[in-house]
Amino acid sequence: MGGGASAVCLLDALAQEGGVPPGEVVVFEPSGHLWRGRPYQPDLDVVRVNAIPEDMSVRAGDTGHFGDWLVGRTLITSGAGDYLDLVSGARFVPRALFGDYLEQSARAALCSLASAGWQVRIVRDHVVRAAAEGSAQLLLVTSAGVEVTVDHAVLCFGAGKPVDVFGLTGTEGFVAEPYPTSSALANLDEDADVVVIGTGLTGVDVALALDRLGHRGRVRLLSRRGVLPGVRQRPIHHKLRHFTPQHFRRVAAAGGSLTLPQVVALMETELRSVGETLSPIRAELAAIAGEDPVARLRRGLGEVDSPSIAIRVLQQAVPDAGPDVWPLLDEAARTWLMAEHDRTLMSLCCPMPPASAARLLALVEAGRLEFVRGVTDVRARPGGGFAMTADGVESSTQVVVNAVNARLHRRSGAAAPLVASLAAEGLAEPHPRGGVHVLRATSELVTGDVPDPRLFALGDPARGSLFFTFGVQSLVDRAVDIVESVRAHWATPALVHPGRSDDDRLQLI
């Protein structure tokens, strides 16, 4: 249920797994940007992916899959750029180009499945209700009343649109959804004073897009804390030796748990193995809390070629092992981390490309871009425009663009009826931090501590139970877990499907 990047990773994993008997795959996606999701629609080329191609492959075990696709595209596309970041020498491709890759990867996976005997169906609608159909199947009902009976269902819907923190939707001059920036921002008065709510990666995209579109007016990025994404340092190749998913999975298999000091100590061991310490990471975490955004931008650019690789090791470890560490911590530790350090960790581990940072700094120095902290209120003014309050000082603006992190929603707005239906049927337990409760090892939905082999969550729907659920690497790993669970489930049909015939179809939704 959902046809974005999560679904593409799942389909590719299913196409690569030879142990699942051919059945039928049904994908539910109502939006007009199938396979691309919200972030990867056709857009301006300054709106970039913030990771190198090796970290964006949808193919498990093949970090070169996306890079090879880029090479092939360059060979057949006239004037294709290599998108080298002139500051770091790494490649950060446009989000739209990655969307092309997702589209072609999905089509290739579906063709592979079809050639292996699978039936493929795409339903341009979303599921609003689910119910148990006996003990082994599920009945799914779409908003148009279409009913589909399935053996397994995977929640793959995204985080949805940005949160409207200040209730401005419908007000003239308010841009509720900034993507794609090429159309959402195209009709703004080029001399208008613009405020962007949010200083994360979406806020960075908006500032760069306005610049590319020729906007001349003042732009202010505002938030409560004014925390910008970090600046990605020159990529390195480091193979985790101690802080590995395999280590944490062994701990989980033995019924063990971990304390935060134990996790920190293991990271320290990982860093010592490459001659590093925790000092650079501690210094960066301390700086994020209070450092002026422009000063941090300058410092980040100055450390692109830092001889210390400690932060880069952490940036690799969090997406690789984070989902395995998270369930081993007790609830008090998880709650504390999310309350005190979620924004800090996201800033550190989801950094912007150096060239993007350099352009932001150039805009600041030209007097066209500002960062505002301490924002408490943004409201529509009776005569038009908006007023905002930051650190007790009120100012005005003509246009407000919403770049708040969509993951502040506890669940996608469009998916809320489905999640409510699953909960009412006893098929899901909503997680207080968002999404639903899932089992780490298989991504199966859990109710009353009992996993359900019919239901899985991938990506944002699992964000309450797991940590760092949205990176492509994490999506690929979890997709493999799901497909392996389905394969194991169907490897013993007499045990799990008594009385069923060989003609029964497997449907992965």
pLDDT at 500: 41
pLDDT at 225: 86
The arithmetic mean of pLDDT across residues 274-299, rounded, is 91
362 and 219 both lie in a single domain: yes
Q: Residue 399 domain-assigned?
A: yes
Q: Residue 125 domain-assigned?
A: yes
Q: Residue 68 domain-assigned?
A: no
Note the pTM of the prediction, 2 decimals: 0.92
- Residue 131 backbone phi and psi in degrees, to 5: -150, 155
Rg of the chain over Cα atoms, rounded to whole angstroms, equals: 23
Lowest mean pLDDT among 73-87, 252-266, 319-333: 73-87
189 and 153 both lie in a single domain: no
Give the tokens for residue 156: 């793959």
Q: Residue 48 domain-assigned?
A: no
For residue 80, is pLDDT > 80? no
For residue 340, is pLDDT > 80? no
257 and 345 both lie in a single domain: yes
Beta strands in 366-463 (DSSP E): 369-372, 375-380, 386-390, 393-397, 399-402, 444-447, 450-457
* pLDDT band, residue 409 (cuts 50/70/90): low
Q: Which residues contact 37 (CB under 8 A, 6 or more apart)?
A: 4, 5, 6, 102, 158
Lowest mean pLDDT among 79-83, 185-189, 208-212: 79-83
pLDDT at 410: 52
* 3-class SS letters over 298-322: HHHHHCCCCCCCHHHHHHHHHHHHH
272 and 421 both lie in a single domain: no
300 and 333 both lie in a single domain: yes
pLDDT at 76: 64
187 and 287 both lie in a single domain: no
Domain end, chosen from 367, 390, 407, is at 407
pLDDT, tens digit (0-9, with 9 covering 90-100), for 163-202:
899 999 999 999 999 999 999 999 999 999 999 999 999 9
* pLDDT band, residue 93 (cuts 50/70/90): very high
* pLDDT band, residue 502 (cuts 50/70/90): very low
Structurally, the chain folds into a number of domains equal to 3
Which has more pLDDT, 477 or 464?
477
147 and 39 both lie in a single domain: yes
pLDDT at 101: 97
**3-state secondary structure at position 161:** coil
386 and 484 both lie in a single domain: no
271 and 403 both lie in a single domain: no
Which structural domain, as residue segments, surrounds residue 200? 174-229+353-407
The domain spanning residue 191 has which CATH number? 3.50.50.60
Do you know the residue count of the chain?
A: 509
368 and 482 both lie in a single domain: no
Domain end, chosen from 308, 332, 349, is at 349
pLDDT at 467: 79
295 and 217 both lie in a single domain: no
443 and 317 both lie in a single domain: no
Lowest mean pLDDT among 147-156, 228-237, 378-387, 496-505: 496-505
Q: Residue 165 domain-assigned?
A: no
Q: Residue 105 domain-assigned?
A: no
The arithmetic mean of pLDDT across residues 459-485, rounded, is 89
Hey, how many other C-beta atoms are within 10 angstroms of the C-beta on 323?
25
pLDDT, tens digit (0-9, with 9 covering 90-100), for 427-443:
999 998 888 999 988 99
pLDDT at 412: 59
C-alpha torsion angle, residues 294, 300, 302, 306 (rounded to 10): 160
Q: Residue 74 domain-assigned?
A: no
Domain end, chosen from 301, 324, 349, is at 349
For residue 349, is pLDDT > 90? no
Lowest mean pLDDT among 283-297, 356-370, 484-498: 484-498
For residue 252, is pLDDT > 70? yes
Query: What are the residues facing 153 on neighbouring strands?
Result: 455
Percent of the chain scoring above 90 in pLDDT: 72
* pLDDT band, residue 226 (cuts 50/70/90): confident
The arithmetic mean of pLDDT across residues 156-168, rounded, is 88
The arithmetic mean of pLDDT across residues 87-100, rounded, is 94
What CA–CA distance (Å, rounded) separates 233 from 302? 10
